[in-house]
Amino acid sequence: MKYEVVMGLEVHVELATESKLFCACSAKFGAEPNENVCPACAGMPGMPAVTNKRAIELGIAAGLVTNSEIARVTAFDKKNYFYPDLPTGYQITQLFAPICRNGSVEIETAAGKKTITLKQIHIEQDAGKLVHDVCAGASLADFNRAGVPLIEIVSNPDFRAAEEVVAYLEKLRSLLSFAGISDCKMQEGSMRCDVNLSVRETGAKEYGVRTEIKNMNSLKAIAAAIEFEAQRHIGALETGCEELVQETRRWDDALGETFSMRGKEDAADYRYFPDPEIPPVPVGEDWIEAVRQSLPEPAETKYERMTGTLGLPETDARIITGSKNLSELFDKTLECYNNPREVVNWIIVELLAIAKGDNKGEDDVRIDCEKFAKLIELVDSKTVNRNTGKKILLKVFEGGVDPAAYVEENKLGMVSDAGAIDDAVREALAENDKSVAEYRDGNQKVIGFLMGQVMRKMGGKADPKAVSERLVYWLGR
């Protein structure tokens, strides 16, 4: 018997706002426990909610990058349940009039292109965090995250394979982080994903029994959880020794299994109702247009520009557009020195290598783009050679030195004077008869050694291309 896995995703993404959704507290990650808390987000009575306009804007932006219909009027609802990480006893979310509906996201896997359709995107408050202190025998509540704005992106059950899920999440991450909607860091919990999964016989019309899997905090964990849960369903269908029930299951990364979470989620009636104190928000065409104008160039468009008019290799363009940070770095550097191919090379080959030594990657490597551009220009104009350029890059990266001034001070300017190079080449040849003889016997490899000798004589400042030309010339005589 052949089976088909059917999945739908609920992706929670923290919005990159300065403050929380309904109060003025900071929404930043990494503060001391309960540092970013006021009476309102601690659930105390008496502070009417004030809606964060920026959160609505980022919700609109999320709709724009996912080709969604954006509501003309969006409104908030209360979802009621008790849990110690929820200070007010209700979550403010959107059920009846979400900010976006009917979006779509294009994904690409080894099997080809596919469109994932979205049911809706809604804005809601995050809950706090509980820390279970085993030693003290107590649970501690941290409300820094309570009230931070999230969007939940709800897809239709369009996924058929774990690779599609991973491709979709990577695509969402790229779309959302590019547009500045969220930093989408799974490890910091600013992007979280629940998978609704069922299995049916291939070709069947009806869906199988659906389970929801939670608590995966990496793409790897998501793929593994899907694989495990799909096999569990198939096993249950084939052997009949386990009865599948509609439930929420928690993924245990260490054990590599899902476990039933009976109790909290099951059969809950959240008693949703329109929030009686938060006025509905009208979203006019001009507001949507203003948000559209403020969005940066999407990754796809940038990719096409890089491989098209700029004539850059696809692999390089993929690396640059895979990260918002690199994209911005590329654009800013290109603004200062308009040589796309060299700028891309220096970013991918040299800058990322240096950054790696500092435990930085695509998303957090930083450099003064103006100085970076100047450095590339110095190499390009043969003022310094590439090796010296790399050394100066390290200085720029570490201390932000000014490349031109640095070259001047340390007399690193490259010698391209033919006379000086000729002198050095002839000296080197005179001192290394053996190598010269070898070369004339047909061993071309010794030219590398001779290059090194010439360069050493010139303090590493010679133009390698000129040196190699002159070497060949003099060896041929």
Partner 1 sequence: MIYADDSIMRKGFPATAGSKMLENFIAPFTAEVLTRLDEPAERAVLSEFGLSAPGELPSPLLCNDVFGHVRRQAAKQGLCYLRPTYGTVSRYGLIPTACSMDQIGVAAKTPSEAFALLDKIRCGDDCRPPAAPPRRAAVTPPYADVYDSVLHILAYAEISANISRYDGVKFGFRAEGYTDLDSLYTKTRTEGFGLEAKLSAMMGCLVLSREYYEIYYEKALKIRAAVKSALSFDEYDILELPVESHLAVLCGLPSLTVDGVQLAADAGGEAWLRKAVGL
Residues forming contacts to partner 1 in the complex (CB under 8 A) are 39, 42-48, 78, 80, 82, 84, 87-90, 141, 269, 271-274, 276-277
Nearer to partner 1, 83 or 473 (CB): 83
Nearer Cβ to partner 1, position 280 or 296? 280
Which C-beta is closer to partner 1: that of 88 or that of 182? 88
Q: What is the longest distance spanned by two Cα atoms in the chain?
A: 94
Give the C-alpha separation, 367 to 344, whole Å.
Answer: 14
Return the number of the residue (92 or 392) whose C-beta is nearest partner 1: 92
Q: How many other CB atoms are there within 10 angstroms of residue 360's CB atom? A: 16
Which lies closer to partner 1 via its Cβ, residue 20 or residue 171? Answer: 20
Q: How far is the CB of 138 from partner 1 (least distance, A)?
A: 12
In the complex, minimum distance from the CB of residue 137 to partner 1, in angstroms, rounded to a whole number: 12
Residue closer to partner 1 (CB basis): 63 or 87 = 87
Q: What are the tokens at 318?
A: 């993929």
How far apart CA 150 and CA 281 sit, in angstroms, is 17
Closest separation in Å from C-beta 39 to partner 1:
5
Place of tokens 């919005």: 15
Residue 312 Cβ vs partner 1, minimum distance, rounded to whole Å: 56
Q: What are phi and psi of 221, to 5 degrees?
A: -65, -40
For partner 1, which is the closer residue by CB, 80 or 109? 80
d(CA 404, CA 342): 18
Is the Cβ of residue 60 or residue 86 nearer to partner 1 in the bound state?
Answer: 86
Instruction: Give CA angle at 318 (317, 323), nearest 5°.
Output: 100
Task: Compute the Cα dihedral for 394, 396, 400, 405 and give only its sign.
Answer: positive
Tokens coding 210: 């659906």
Least separation in angstroms between CB 75 and partner 1: 12
What is d(CA 323, CA 364) in angstroms, rounded to the nearest whole number? 10
Choose between 275 and 350: whose C-beta lies nearer to partner 1. Answer: 275
Q: Which is nearer to partner 1, 75 or 404 (CB)?
A: 75
